[in-house]
Chain A
Amino acid sequence: GNSVTQMEGPVTLSEEAFLTINCTYTATGYPSLFWYVQYPGEGLQLLLKATKADDKGSNKGFEATYRKETTSFHLEKGSVQVSDSAVYFCAVNTGNQFYFGTGTSLTVIP
């Protein structure tokens, strides 16, 4: 079946460090891929997305590239800030259904 495997957390980084959160997926056909962010006490917000192979989604300094050959969609940011502290979810859309990873908690310390 369809599923998303996401890097276990929690992750703690110093401000300005490089961030990578790994995400791999299993899905049939040509899924769309997403990263969502959840700040404490809030619902999820779309961070970025990619709808076909080799597409790069980017937003607020975050990037992820749709790699069909490795079925991956790793999230990266070159220099994290304290305000990036949140839980990050990788998600796959196949047809009308969504599948989410378990979430990775990121804490950035000054």
Chain B
Amino acid sequence: EAQVTQNPRYLITVTGKKLTVTCSQNMNHEYMSWYRQDPGLGLRQIYYSMNVEVTDKGDVPEGYKVSRKEKRNFPLILESPSPNQTSLYFCASSRSPDPGEETQYFGPGTRLLVL
């Protein structure tokens, strides 16, 4: 089954404790992206990647890191989480490096609470 998977789905952590949210797609997609969803703000793009070893900042990259060592994986790293990073996070992927031409497929979301 074609899908985007994220782990964990739910996470409670404390300020400053490094964490990684994994994202994996099995569709051989070129483009991958991370978003955060907050009430009243919709989805905002954190980082995106057009291919292996190519990553770029989105609208709200501060406090986050990503890597794209393999085509299928695109982990989101919070080196020192803070309470303002409490949010619902979505990973997405699409076949083409031009995401305007292709459908983005979204993962199920990771709900993060930073105390």
Interface residues in chain A, defined as those with a beta carbon under 8 Å from any beta carbon in chain B: 4, 6, 31-32, 42-46, 49, 51, 89, 91, 93-103
Contacts and interface: CB of A to CB of B under 8 A. Distances in A.
A79 B33 CA distance: 34
A100 to B, nearest CB: 4
Contacts of B4: 43
Given A89-B43, A96-B98, 15 more contacts: A31-B100, A32-B101, A43-B107, A43-B109, A44-B106, A49-B103, A89-B42, A96-B50, A97-B45, A97-B48, A98-B33, A100-B44, A101-B42, A102-B41, A102-B42
Contacts of A4: 42
Query: For chain A, what secondary structure do more than half of its interface residues adopt (helix, strand, loop), or is it mixed?
Result: strand
Interface residues of B, number: 28
Contacts of B44: 100
15 contacts: A31-B100, A32-B101, A43-B107, A43-B109, A46-B103, A49-B103, A51-B100, A91-B43, A94-B100, A95-B100, A96-B98, A97-B48, A100-B42, A101-B42, A103-B42
